[in-house]
Structure 1
């Protein structure tokens, strides 16, 4: 592992594939921000970030697209804007401590999604667990692009939502917050998704109540 401590790293764009970023340990470092993505949509996911640790770091605007993350741990990360993780694949990724707003989303572009979504689903067939958020404290979380059954979670605040049950729900009978969750879950790319009530958000109690509402209806567990 190459150790970096209390360093300030400039904004950087990494647009390569195949490429591997590996064996790095950052502690109390500041990243101006950056972009990590392949030059074109790559169904082989040959842009890999592997065996990387971030502890108590700060980051500017960060965009991650089409990356395969393996054995990555982020323990406390402060950043002014949400970390956008679009069309990426995870294996043994841990988020722990205060991590702010984190969005795992499918590719926005329809053509890109048609290429990357089935490739990601195929890769996940060989993953025993993708993401561990049991100790993560979010201000906002979107985890729609990761199969819910591959997410290690705290069942008190992080719920498994079933796509089929969400699609069949009588939406008019639900609270507004529960309706929003059901609408997103019904369109999720995988049969199950994890929805986390963000413990660092002012809306935490309302979102937790909505998830308990859905659990009572068998839509979430």
Structure 2
């Protein structure tokens, strides 16, 4: 029997999701044309409690966010379409068959659970990431998304589990682990692409995702040219 979908339309949520204990578990929701202001999801007073906030079998469509924060939640079988607003950072969130499509505002997926995570917390998170993605067929589909700023940082998702448009969303590789700032400076590419490469080098990553910003037409064309430069230097997979 198919799961019943509950539709939430045209509402404004302010300062929702904050609490000390317990978890939020949502399923079978379609949230459309809503606004979220100063909301959070995925956090309680115990960053690594055994149970995380979760979302599954849901849709977020034509919504707007402002000053929101998303922490180490599990998001499964969910579609996010046309999400606008300011920068949204996913801290330590885990994805299982999640689709981003349409126009997507600035988005960063971080592998660490919080900006001030110490080494012990980071190691616990990396262990959870490895265990979680061992059973995930694919994590994230961004192939039909259009963004002006999209980044995956600090090993948030194994890039082999990201479905992408190979003509505008490029996999940069540094299999030898020898990429240096001087190597990056020598490349004739845009500052946008150099930032991606610098982060890759600073974080010691062997691969990184370069997403051409389709919502910024002039920069989009430049990043496509950058991809050609990287390909000629053997840096694209």
Length-normalised TM-score, structure 2: 0.82
Deviation string, structure 1 residues 152-200 (Cα, Å, up to 9, x no partner): 0001110112242563463343135344332222355764332211111
Moved more, 30-39 or 65-74: 30-39
Residue 124, structure 1, aligned to residue 129, structure 2: no
Please, which moves more after superposition, 11-20 or 125-134?
A: 11-20
Cα distance in 2, alignment partners of residues 110 and 97 from structure 1 = 36
1:19, distance to aligned residue in structure 2 (A): 4.0
Of 40-49 and 24-33, more deviation after overlay is shown by 40-49
Q: Indicate the residue corresponding to 1:180 in structure 2.
A: 195
Q: Distance in 2 between matches of 1:89 and 1:96?
A: 18
Partner of residue 226, structure 2: 210
2:121 aligned with 1:110: no
Question: Which runs of 5 or more structure 1 residues have no equivalent in the other structure?
Answer: none
> Higher mean Cα deviation, 109-118 or 167-176?
167-176
**Number of residue-to-residue matches in the alignment:** 220
Partners of 2:204 and 2:158 in 1: how far apart? 8
Q: Distance in 1 between matches of 2:39 and 2:31?
A: 16
* Structure number with higher strand proportion: 1
1:172–1:39: structure 2 CA closer, same or farther, 3 Å change rule?
A: same
Unaligned runs of 5+ in 2: none
- Tell me, yes or no, if the aligned pair for 1:166 and 1:185 is still in contact at 8 Å: no
TM-aligned CA deviation for residue 3 of structure 1: 0.7
Which secondary structure state, in structure 1, belongs to the residue aligned with residue 106 of structure 2? Answer: strand
- Asked if the contact 1:165–1:219 (Cα under 8 Å) also holds between the matched residues in 2, the reply is no
1:7 to 11, 14, 22: 11
Q: Considering only CA atoms, is the larger Rg found in Structure 1 or Structure 2?
A: 2
How large is the RMSD of aligned CA atoms in angstroms? 2.3
